[in-house]
Structure 1
Amino acid sequence: MKRAFILILVLCCSLLTACDNASIGIIGGADGPTAIIVGKETDKVKGKFGEQLEKKPVRMINVDGELYYDSGYVSKNTPRCGTLDGKLKRAVAGNEIPLKSGVANFDTEGYQHATGITKEVNIDGDWIIFKKYDTHGRKLDNLKYCYYIKGHLNNAVKDSEIIVLSENDRVTFNDIYDPLLSSTYPLENGIGNTHHNPILYDEWGIHLYAEDVTESGMTLKIEQFGGEYSGSLQTGEWFSIEPCTDGEWKPVPTNPLIDYAWLQIAYLIKSNDITELDIGWKWLYGELPPGQYRLKKEISDYTPDKKTDKKVYEVYFTVE
């Protein structure tokens, strides 16, 4: 089962008469109109469910039809070959999406291949890691602008950061999240179509994704990007599955007819890349009935002669 992309339709801001410090407008949502305040000399925009804190164009490149955005990370790959793997030329404005292969929205000569999800570009003497933008299989027709946007949702512990592709350069943090958090999606808007990737943070840079889910197994994708760890990240054979029943997560009963033990195997998790594992559970749980589940997977930060740190990560999935 492919990860679903998000198509967001939002209603635009209708700016009224400006005053000395701010402009006041209205944003329409499924739960009714919401007043917003746009600071005169700031990127802050208040909406119904949160507040935009920062908005700026994001550097992007297009390699073989795939988009990559400036992650802000500097590569530690040394030494390196001085030969570029591909050339790039600037052909669009700094806030526009480079929709054609070989095009960038900033001045650069080219790039070097790094991993399955990254390219590296020399900017002012530093090799900057560009991370692949996941379109989730969606065509980007009619989308023109690209931004890094930071905001804070009401009652959230941390700020949210997103890379946004938009049909309109006036898109805000609230245009992305207000429709998602409203009871129903707005049907028409003035901002137009948008697409976004959240910038996810974890101490070790780990995030799990479930794909090709069936009643008896899945492909588990372990993405590692950024983060701080001391040794090498590894995972083993162990996993656990829990269904959500009446709002509670409880372990799936194992097959009482088998006597089993988990093999002591370590799978290395690739750095700044995606590691794929085929997970089959029919032998342990049988075929799962339709429903909502989560899979738990232990990951270790292994360093020889030191205590191994361990964490349990979760991925949520549906059996249809």
Structure 2
Amino acid sequence: MRRTVKMMICLVVLVSCGCGRNTNEEPANTAASDVSASEVQTEPAPVNTVSPAIEEESETVYVDGPYGRLSMEIPSGWSCEAVPVDSGVFNDRTYGLILRPDHAGAENIRIVCMDFFGVCGTGLASTQMTLAGRNVNVGTYDSHPYWDYIVFNQEQPNVAAMQNGNGNWTEAQQNEAMNILDTLRFDQDITTGGIGRHIPEAEDDEIAVIMELSNVTPTGLKVHLRRYDPGNGKDLECGEGYSLQAASGDTWEDVPVISEAYVSGEEVYPIPADGETAFEINWEGLYGTLSPGTYRITEVITENPPKHLSVCSRVYPLTGEFIIAGQ
């Protein structure tokens, strides 16, 4: 059975993304919210029973990001790694925690905060349970004795836990992991940094290019233009020109230009057929320092015609979305 768990999300650098371990620090409380049942509903999958809350000595591990703070209580015998945005461990639009028993090798559970979490594949069973004060959705493929993912919040932003190669964990380890996950807290009042988000306007099937954003700050970001169909032989390039819009309620408004005298560079970036091109943008001289909010950036991709044809170049605008959190 082939299964795919896709993490898409709609973000991405941190201005000051915090992460750390605080001994005996109580995690921030967050209001519980019910989660609707998954669209995939079959026979209930085996779900570990959560024992009473961990009472032994533990430490709080947390990671801060643009959507909020994730934290858990970690007992002795377990380790937990904080993974900020743009760390290279997760993709550019996510951040979270990695939980594993001591001496467990590479197997772990990844608790990830993202703009969107989606699943697909056959052999998926879904059930509901209460965990971390929430009604969560638990997904299991192929009737495993252990779960594959747990969605704590299906409203954006999503928070999900995913097993990563844990088939050799003992039943006791799986049960203790559930007890630790029961301490998970998501505090959306503590936000920091910036992150990119995926939107449909960020890709165009005609040229098979997708735009992704990383290193988001109030004064700039990094643009990644990746071709996802090597068979598309179009000659594509992107210049340094761009525009910014800011969310205002249900509409988008152009970000005011602070200096008409500002001149953008003339660099042109070819987009290779079998890879990506990436470049930094700094808009401080054109737009100044952006306030916290949701923004969109539009780049224009140019398709150059074959030299022997007397036709004009075609252009394809791509738009990416990003968030700058309050400090």
Give the TM bin, normalised by the shorter chain: 0.3 to 0.5
TM-score, with normalisation over the residues of structure 2?
0.42
Scaled by the length of structure 1, what TM-score is found? 0.43
